[in-house]
Amino acid sequence: MDTNLKNLLALYDDTAPLEEAHTIPAPWYLDSGVEQLERQHVFGGNWQVIGRIDQVANPGDFFTAELAGEPILAVRGADGQLRAFYNVCRHHAAAVATVPCGHAQSFRCPYHGWNYGLDGTLKGMPEFAGVCNFDRAANGLMPLAIDTWENFVFVHLASNPSPLRDFLSDFVARVSPLGLDKLQFHSRREYTLNCNWKVYVDNYLDGGYHVPHLHKGLNSVLDYSHYTIENGERFCLQSSPMVASEEDAQVSATRKGDRARYFWLYPNFMINIYQGVMDTNLVLPLGTDKCRVLFDFFFEDLSPEQEEHNTASVATSDKVQDEDVAICESVQKGLASRAYGAGRLSVRREAGEHLFHRLLAYDLKSGLASGQKELVSLAMR
Q: Which residues bind ligand FES (CB under 6 A)?
A: 89, 91-92, 94, 109, 111-114
Task: Give the phi and the psi of residue 62 in degrees, each rounded to 5.
Answer: -150, 160
- Count of residues of this chain found to bind Fe ion when the rule CB under 5 A is applied: 1
Is residue 61 a contact residue for Fe ion (CB under 5 A)? no
Residue 114 site contact among ligand FES, Fe ion, none (CB < 5 to 8 Å, cut-off depends on kind): ligand FES
* Diameter over CA atoms, the chain: 77
In the sheet that 122-124 helps form, which strands lie side by side, from edge to edge?
106-108, 115-117, 122-124
Which 306-335 residues touch Fe ion, going by CB under 5 A? Answer: 324
> For the range 323-329, what are the long-range contacts, defined as Cβ-Cβ under 8 Å and sequence gap of 24 or more?
323/214, 323/215, 324/200, 324/203, 324/214, 325/191, 325/193, 327/203, 327/210, 327/214, 328/193, 328/195, 328/199, 328/200, 328/203, 329/193, 329/194, 329/195
* Residue 134: contacted member of ligand FES, Fe ion, none (CB under 5 to 8 Å, by partner type): none
Compute the distance between CA of residue 124 and CA of residue 121 in angstroms, rounded to an integer: 9
- Nearest approach in angstroms of CB 111 to ligand FES is 4
Dihedral of the alpha carbons of 294, 264, 291, 17, in degrees to the nearest 10: 180
Cβ closest to ligand FES, residue 91 vs residue 290: 91
Q: From the list Fe ion, ligand FES, none, which binds 324 (C-beta under 5 to 8 Å, kind-based)? A: Fe ion
**The entry of Fe ion, ligand FES, none that residue 92 binds, CB within 5 to 8 Å by partner kind:** ligand FES
Q: Which is nearer to ligand FES, 139 or 372 (CB)?
A: 139
Please, what is the minimum distance in Å from the beta carbon of residue 208 to Fe ion?
9
Q: Applying CB under 5 A, does 206 fall inside the site for Fe ion?
A: no
* Shortest Å, Cβ 319 to Fe ion: 11
Please, which residue, 110 or 287, has the CB nearer to ligand FES? 110
- If the CB atoms of residues 87 and 151 are measured against ligand FES, the closer one turns out to be 87
**CA 206 – CA 324 distance, rounded (Å):** 12
